[in-house]
Chain A
Amino acid sequence: MSRVALGLNANIAVGLTRVASWAVRSLGAGDGGVLPGRILLRLYPDAITELSRSLPCVIVSGTNAKTTTTALAKEALSGSFEVVSNTTGANMEGGVACALALQAGRSLERSIGVFEVDEAYLPVIAPQLETKVVALLNLSRDQLDRVSETRLTSAKWRAFLEEHPAVKVVANCDDPLVVFAANGSASVLWVSAGLNFVQDARSCPTCGGEIDFSKSRWFCSCGFSRPEPDVEVDGKIISVCGKTVEAELALPGSCNVSNAAMVLGICEVLGVDIDSAARRMSYVAEVAGRYKRVNIDGHSVRMLLSKNPAGWVEVFDMVGNDPSVVVAINAQIADGRDPSWLWDVPFEQLFGREVFASGERAFDLSVRLHYAGISHRVVKDPLEAIRSCRCGEVSFVGNYTSFQALRRQLKNKDQPVLTEIRRLADRILR
């Protein structure tokens, strides 16, 4: 096997994609995945299938923690494989196509693809790849204007698995909607990765009845219940089919230990040594700009991304002792156009801190904070909000586009002309 032979047109398309990706990155206009990928697919619609020929692939999907889990998996598997991955959060067809184009022409010997895939796009993208393993993390409300409601997504995942019996599944047994989907497969490794937002899982996906979460194992009277886990977490100790390993992660929060457990599940299925995988994961200190602390005019700012109620549960765990918190909310297409999910976030937990409402939808957030009894100031520009903090230690929490916008601002390369060019190109390609 190895090298994939491409036609002339395909070679030109791949070449253009690489140039576009380089241009976008070096101009500071983004991570260089989304737009070049869309150009590639426009010129070369079969790019994903053809560029991934003889590349075994792992797909990571779910509402939350896709990017982080994919980054941890990339690192964990890199001792055994050359890893091709989309680690920048570009998780629709364009992002996967671009990641493949950037490595096209190289030998695929000992290579593996590790792709995070948008939950709605899993049934679209997975059949185009040589998918060996699918890791299913969780499902909860997010971007309901674009992604269908969670139950429908779960049913679509299940249908995909029923149609592809050779695909192995690593699934979170604590989330009933994930279990419903994974039950479409005969080959599942169950990971107890936790469920931090129960609201979307209360009614049984099998019978519509009420799921009882009062015991450590959830169950429904119809018989649908939590499977016995093969992988479990206890503090920092992860047990994988009887073997135990300590996860000494650089990433904060208990949720990231759960993400590491999902990755060790993937490693187990692929036959990768979990001790060396765990060691490699401990080197990951940031993921696409998330989690790390940056210095902004004397403020030490922890950069956090959270885009829905389930994600916020993790954020409250990671904000730690930072006395100032800047929350920036946008409602662009990538965020979901409807920020009403803010009302499902228990912002009361920010009580006692200095809070700023920021971002394009700062006023929606401000009304929400008032009703949560959180005194705050509205400063629409996140950078200005951070500079206005009284304290040195700040947590910045943005949803998708507000987080990316601040990263671009920090690179100090954000120029209005560039933003315009990007917007124009987006419009032409739509």
Chain B
Amino acid sequence: MSDTIRVVSVLPDLLGTYGDSGNAIVASKRLALRGYQVELINAGLKDGIPSGGDFYFVGGGEDGPQSKAAELLRVDAVVERALESGAGLLAVCAGFQILGESFIGPNLKPQAGIGLFSCRTHRFDGPRSVGELIVEPVGSLAGLPLLTGYENHQGVTELLPGAVPLGGVLVGNGNNFEGRSDGAVLGRAIGTYMHGPVFARNPALCDHFLSLVLGELAPLGAIPLEEAHRALYDERISEVYKP
């Protein structure tokens, strides 16, 4: 790995409707504060998606752009190859859906996804899933604090046998109405329905994600940034989660 950490925001001009670009901003700054040299790359439609990145971020978006992004991501399999060579991947909402085996295209028919996560997203005729989401991390993420985010999606995602969710849903819907789970985790790849952006709401998840690639990271300590995170986190959890 080169000295500079390369953080790649994947197709932000197609996928980035819900402020998800903030995840790459948060990750980059938290690395810089720990002394890393960071290059934040906004890989737009025109630029192509660079290989050799250390972290890849795929955000949420509308149906048409989502379908287009899936086509582009399938062409050169950059993200799969990057994961194989040790990079980390965060995919949110529409980004999470296209990394599964299939999702619903703009013509309302199933469209093939990247097939990284063992899940399928179906069309749902009931109410849209909109609102605050509280998730209790499981599997390799168990031990992290509760996660807070905001979901806004029509599709429902079915995890296939063998798939591991990001966590169990305590408030909101997440993947679907029945399973009470949100997202999926596979090695250094994390998928979720949580906007917010999710790393701005949950710096502990961000640091965990970064450590999957870079090894254990020193805490940032009691700097004003961390106090601001703490205030936001405590407020969101206490307003939304009333066990």
* Minimum Cβ distance to chain B for residue A215 (Å): 14
When distances are taken between beta carbons in the complex, the residues of chain B under 8 Å from A364 are: 200, 232
Chain B's closest residue to A341 (CB) is: B19
A367 touches B45 (CB 8 A): no
Give the contacting residue for B197; candidates A141, A152, A343; CB below 8 A: A343
Are A202 and B13 also in contact (CB < 8 A) when A151-B64, A367-B228, A367-B232 are?
yes
When distances are taken between beta carbons in the complex, the residues of chain A under 8 Å from B225 are: 367, 370-371
Are A151 and B68 also in contact (CB < 8 A) when A202-B14, A340-B196, A366-B228 are?
no
A342 touches B19 (CB 8 A): yes
Interface string of A60-101 (1 = CB under 8 A from B): 000000000000000000000000000000000000000000
Q: Report how far A364 CA is from B228 CA in the complex, Å.
A: 8
Give the contacting residue for B228; candidates A205, A338, A370; CB below 8 A: A370
Q: Report how far A337 CA is from B131 CA in the complex, Å.
A: 8
Query: Does any Cβ of B come within 8 Å of A330's Cβ?
Result: no
* Minimum Cβ distance to chain B for residue A200 (Å): 7
Q: Which of A127-135, A142-150, A279-287 is the interface stretch?
A: A142-150
Indicate the size class of the contact surface on chain B. Answer: 35 or more
B17 touches A144 (CB 8 A): yes
Q: Report how far A205 CA is from B19 CA in the complex, Å.
A: 21
Give the contacting residue for A210; candidates B46, B63, B132, B197; CB below 8 A: B46
A208 touches B64 (CB 8 A): yes
B65 touches A208 (CB 8 A): yes
* Minimum Cβ distance to chain B for residue A365 (Å): 9
Query: Does any Cβ of B come within 8 Å of A344's Cβ?
Result: yes
When distances are taken between beta carbons in the complex, the residues of chain A under 8 Å from B232 are: 363-364, 366-367
* Minimum Cβ distance to chain A for residue B20 (Å): 8
Are A343 and B25 also in contact (CB < 8 A) when A337-B150, A367-B229 are?
yes
Interface string of B94-120 (1 = CB under 8 A from A): 000000000000100000000000000
A363 touches B25 (CB 8 A): no
Interface string of A348-380 (1 = CB under 8 A from B): 000000000000000110111011000000100
Q: Report how far A152 CA is from B63 CA in the complex, Å.
A: 9
Query: Does any Cβ of B come within 8 Å of A199's Cβ?
Result: yes
Query: Does any Cβ of B come within 8 Å of A203's Cβ?
Result: yes
Interface string of B14-34 (1 = CB under 8 A from A): 101111111001100100000
A199 touches B13 (CB 8 A): yes
Q: Report how far A145 CA is from B26 CA in the complex, Å.
A: 23
Give the contacting residue for A340; candidates B18, B45, B65, B68; CB below 8 A: B18
When distances are taken between beta carbons in the complex, the residues of chain B under 8 Å from A343 are: 19-22, 25, 197, 200
Q: Which of B225-243 contact A (CB under 8 A)?
A: 225, 228-229, 231-232, 235
B19 touches A344 (CB 8 A): yes
Chain B's closest residue to A340 (CB) is: B19
When distances are taken between beta carbons in the complex, the residues of chain A under 8 Å from B144 are: none
Are A203 and B200 also in contact (CB < 8 A) when A340-B195, A370-B224 are?
no
Are A203 and B65 also in contact (CB < 8 A) when A366-B232, A370-B225 are?
yes
When distances are taken between beta carbons in the complex, the residues of chain B under 8 Å from A209 are: 68
Query: Does any Cβ of A come within 8 Å of B130's Cβ?
Result: yes
B45 touches A210 (CB 8 A): yes
Q: Which of A172-206 contact B (CB under 8 A)?
A: 199-200, 202-203, 205
Q: Which of B39-65 contact A (CB under 8 A)?
A: 45-46, 62-65
* Minimum Cβ distance to chain A for residue B40 (Å): 12
* Minimum Cβ distance to chain B for residue A205 (Å): 8
Q: Is the interface of A mostly helix, strand, loop or mixed?
A: helix
A371 touches B235 (CB 8 A): no
Chain B's closest residue to A370 (CB) is: B225
Q: Report how far A145 CA is from B128 CA in the complex, Å.
A: 9
Q: Report how far A144 CA is from B235 CA in the complex, Å.
A: 22
B21 touches A338 (CB 8 A): no
When distances are taken between beta carbons in the complex, the residues of chain A under 8 Å from B18 are: 141, 144, 338, 340-341
Q: Report how far A342 CA is from B200 CA in the complex, Å.
A: 11
When distances are taken between beta carbons in the complex, the residues of chain B under 8 Å from A341 are: 18-19
Query: Does any Cβ of A come within 8 Å of B176's Cβ?
Result: no
When distances are taken between beta carbons in the complex, the residues of chain B under 8 Å from A200 are: 17
When distances are taken between beta carbons in the complex, the residues of chain B under 8 Å from A202 are: 13-14, 45
Chain B's closest residue to A198 (CB) is: B13
Query: Does any Cβ of A come within 8 Å of B152's Cβ?
Result: yes
Counting chain B CB atoms within 10 Å of each CB, which of A150, A338, A340, A344 scores highest?
A340
* Minimum Cβ distance to chain B for residue A218 (Å): 14
Chain A's closest residue to B232 (CB) is: A363
Q: Report how far A343 CA is from B17 CA in the complex, Å.
A: 10
A145 touches B64 (CB 8 A): no
Query: Does any Cβ of A come within 8 Å of B175's Cβ?
Result: no
When distances are taken between beta carbons in the complex, the residues of chain A under 8 Å from B16 are: 199, 344
* Minimum Cβ distance to chain A for residue B171 (Å): 13
* Minimum Cβ distance to chain A for residue B154 (Å): 10
Query: Does any Cβ of A come within 8 Å of B67's Cβ?
Result: yes
Are A151 and B62 also in contact (CB < 8 A) when A208-B68, A363-B231, A370-B224 are?
yes
Q: Report how far A136 CA is from B68 CA in the complex, Å.
A: 27
Counting chain A CB atoms within 10 Å of each CB, which of B13, B46, B195, B224 scores highest?
B13
* Minimum Cβ distance to chain B for residue A391 (Å): 22
* Minimum Cβ distance to chain A for residue B234 (Å): 9
Are A149 and B17 also in contact (CB < 8 A) when A338-B150, A363-B235 are?
yes
Q: Report how far A338 CA is from B153 CA in the complex, Å.
A: 13
Which 9 A-B residue pairings sit nearest by Cβ, starting from the closest?
A343-B22, A340-B19, A343-B19, A363-B232, A202-B13, A149-B62, A338-B150, A366-B228, A210-B45
Q: B-side interface residues toward A, CB under 8 Å?
A: 13-14, 16-22, 25-26, 29, 45-46, 62-65, 67-68, 106, 130-132, 150, 152, 195-197, 200, 224-225, 228-229, 231-232, 235
7 intermolecular pairs with C-beta atoms under 8 Å apart:
A149-B63, A209-B68, A338-B195, A343-B200, A366-B228, A366-B231, A371-B26
* A200-B17, A341-B18 given; 12 more Cβ-contact pairs under 8 Å: A203-B14, A208-B64, A210-B45, A337-B130, A340-B19, A340-B195, A343-B22, A344-B19, A366-B231, A367-B228, A371-B22, A371-B25
